[in-house]
Chain A
Amino acid sequence: MFAGALAAQHSARTLVMARGIGGTHLGTGTVDVWGPHSPAPSPDDKERRLERGSPSPEVELKKRRTRKHPLGLAGLPALRAALAEFKKICAAAGYPLAGEIHSNFFLPTALGAVRPTCLAPESFTAGEVRQPAELTLARFPGFRDFFADLAVSNLTAAGYAARAVALDLPDFPTRRDSFATDLARAFDEADYRAQVADRWRAALKGVSRLGIPAILGLDEPFTAWRDLSDRLGVEIFEIPILPPSVPGMRLFNNLRRTIEAAGGRVTLGPGIQGWVQADRQVGVIAETAGGPRKLSARSVILATGGFRHGGLESPAKGEVKESVFNLPVTTGKQWFAPLYWDAQPYTRFGVSVNAKMQPVDADGNVIYSNLFAIGGILAGADRLGEGSREGIDLATGWKAVEAMTNAK
């Protein structure tokens, strides 16, 4: 989507096609660049981190510059430019992101773990666990997708001062389970926020910062967050919860609007097959309702993701296939590590590309002259373990669009 937005801003005719909506609606709505996971830190860990400051994604990446990792291939300048561009798109949509490449935030998760991330919406940042003020987390009785007490017990066990407070919501509970999206749409209304503030004020005496599930508005979240914080006189921070992810939807909507405002199209639904033309050019075949329709384009960007997203498939034990163009996949001998939480070798399987993000064969030759591959389909990264998912998506997307527009 980000590459689509950049491409649309460069040239008028951009089409983003996807079989359904992807990771944004399931993710956290933050931008992870580099921040390997560790178990919830013990109080000792916390002390150390506070002294040292946060590990800097920039410094870490400089240390481990490798041509085999997508971030190494894209390079730091591309990563910096991509983050700046992404921040610009979000800011223009009235949804500013905070953060810089040289440091990470440490934000509480819905389970009460602590997670490093590079860029986060402004409405998340007051949750920074290294700040000394106690974390007060909201329990909405009847809302099943966030358990404040569980988060508090884990945060407390890790040495952070935290407690839970029960806060009622107006017009709640409803006749069915409410989803994060239902609450978010309610919080988009100023009247609703005013009612909420009146109800919560008494319970929040003495609270300096309040964590609530990420449900503060879909259409105008920044306004909703500022408005509620001001009405209550409390620093509010959002915590991403179970899907549907409201903060992820905000990013998706921002990107989609950016693409469409620049004259591009987003078509959801059709499955895609590859169409290899005579002159080493590719197009795609879209499975429309009526049947397959061929689409050719000057450039095609493949962003279909890894095994979990359908970009890679394993038709039989030990086999790997790239699902659209049947590109060669770089694999390894081992697929799995013995323990579930270990770094799993299969996550590094993927398509190998050159510095322009063009898929290459084992000898480094470009396979199709107008094809680029970006994001989760690329070989060499353990996106989850490294905490590098969105950093890779943005940097490789930026790089592909740069190569594509230069080639024109």
Chain B
Amino acid sequence: MTNDEGSSRITGHASPTSDSWLLTTDLCIKCNICTSVCPVAAVTDLFPGPKVVGPQAQRFREPGAISLDRSVDYCSGCGVCSLVCPQGVQVAEMNILAKAALAERDGVSRRNRLLGRSEQVGRIGSWFAPLANFLLQNKFLRSLGERWFGVSREAPFPKFAWRSFRSRFARSGAGRDAAGIYKVVYFHGCSTNYYEPRVGMAAVKVLRLNGCKVSVAEQNCCGLPLQSNGELAAARAAAEANLRKLAPYVREGYVIVGTSTSCTFALKHEYRAVLGLHSEEAELVAGATYDFFEFLQKLEAEGRWQTGFRHAPERIVYHAPCQLRSHGIGRPAADLLRRVPGVTVLETQADCCGVAGTYGLKAEKYQIAKDVGRKAFHEIQKAQATRIACDSETCRWWLAQHTGLPAVHPVEILAEAYGVKRV
């Protein structure tokens, strides 16, 4: 699909670049298409909808001033509004920045500071993994946590892994290949490193089976949790650190491939569109970043995708996370899993499972997130599958909690089909 012929040419023109998001306010014709698909506005009248808090309110925000209307805080950041807008208004981006402006004025709560720092929480938690896991399952402590911090006592928390992905990777020797058809930097993200190292190990094995040389270059949290919780300066620092660490690899011909679809979306889009980073490094990294199955689909198009699968009869229900939709690449994981002999893939149609990163973990939003997710939960239960496959970790934990089905990253299913033992 991606072959480049010699004398081909490009016609038409690119859309306005993302740094002009503010100008897109005036493209809004108030048609309300965004409101009609907003999953939060559909379940609560606390949120007036993306058009009202986005382009409509933006007209009252002088440059530098902020809206007095706090209802934008109920935006979950799922991004569906930007995708459906026929005029190219960057509604979601506008709302993230409006939320951040409110946070700057009113200060960021202890709770949001905590939720924004998934990397630090992960690192400290995994030092004391057994104890931390025990404490997080304790109902009394969780209710104290709700009262003091505002983190819902019901919200799902993953278990800290005793040994991080990076240390497992180092010990496995998987990074010592001399060459490969592609040189890949695997961007694992905090969740793989501290909670689900098995996802990372599966990803590395699948990449190597497909002939790629894998590195786990120095990297840090993508910054998205900080951004969603209103800490733009801290998010920007995390982003710049990643760009400094990753850009040299891209210059050496590496591509960046990640299994957390929200992290890869941050590298591709949010650094530029929301955090306003327009350096050469930002462009370089964005252009070289692939979501995991998007990369496999690229290999497939080039005729280099390995399909030596064992027969693995299973009925899977796949949920495409809202963040994946924002990539604009379709649903490559569902498309490729269907190619595994014996695997049946059913797909949910729901636009969002509700949790939207850290949104559903917050006490005052937990019920809203659950109501948003009801459609997805229902579809999953109806599917009569054995497992849920989903490319985003917070969605997996949330869906598993509310449906009672185990949830895995699609790469884990693929790794099993290649005959790789579960790790």
Residues of chain A touching chain B, judged by Cβ–Cβ distance below 8 Å, are 15, 19-22, 25-26, 174-179, 181-182, 185, 242-244, 249, 257, 260, 265, 267-278, 285-296, 309-310, 323-326
Contact = CB atoms under 8 A, between A and B. Distances in A.
6 contacts: A178-B45, A243-B36, A269-B82, A276-B10, A288-B329, A293-B329
Nearest to B46: A175
A20 B79 CA distance: 12
A178 B88 CA distance: 25
Interface stretch (B27-35, B60-68, B124-132, B389-397): B27-35
A267 B84 contact: no
A175 B45 contact: yes
A174 B45 CA distance: 7
Contacts of A257: 349
Interface of B: 1-15, 31-33, 35-37, 41-42, 45-49, 52, 82-88, 264-265, 267-269, 286-287, 289-290, 325-331, 335, 347, 349
B33 A21 contact: yes
A244 B32 CA distance: 6
A251 B299 CA distance: 37
Contact of B286 (A185, A285, A290, A326): A290
A287 B328 contact: yes
Contacts of B48: 176-177
A20 B328 contact: no
Contacts of A310: 86
Q: Which of A268, A292, A295 has the most CB of B within 10 A?
A: A268
Instruction: Determine chain B's interface SS by DSSP, over half rule.
Output: loop
A294 B82 contact: no
B45 A176 contact: yes
Contacts of A324: 11-12
A178 B45 CA distance: 8
Nearest to B33: A25
- Closest 10 A/B residue pairs (Cβ): A244-B36, A20-B86, A274-B11, A270-B328, A271-B15, A290-B268, A269-B83, A174-B45, A288-B328, A289-B269
A179 B326 contact: no
B250 to A, nearest CB: 12
A181 B11 contact: no
Nearest to A290: B268
Contacts of A19: 15, 86, 88
B371 to A, nearest CB: 11
A244 B1 CA distance: 37
A325 B265 CA distance: 29
A243 B10 contact: no
Q: Which of B5, B11, B83, B327 has the most CB of A within 10 A?
A: B11
B12 A325 contact: yes
B249 to A, nearest CB: 16
B326 A289 contact: yes
Given A244-B35, A296-B3, A290 B330 contact: no
A257 B347 CA distance: 11
B184 to A, nearest CB: 15
Given A25-B31, A243-B33, A269-B326, 20 more contacts: A20-B84, A20-B87, A22-B86, A179-B41, A185-B42, A242-B32, A268-B325, A269-B325, A271-B14, A273-B13, A274-B11, A288-B268, A288-B327, A288-B328, A289-B329, A292-B14, A293-B2, A294-B1, A323-B13, A324-B11
B5 A278 contact: yes
Contacts of B15: 19, 271, 287
Contacts of A26: 31, 33
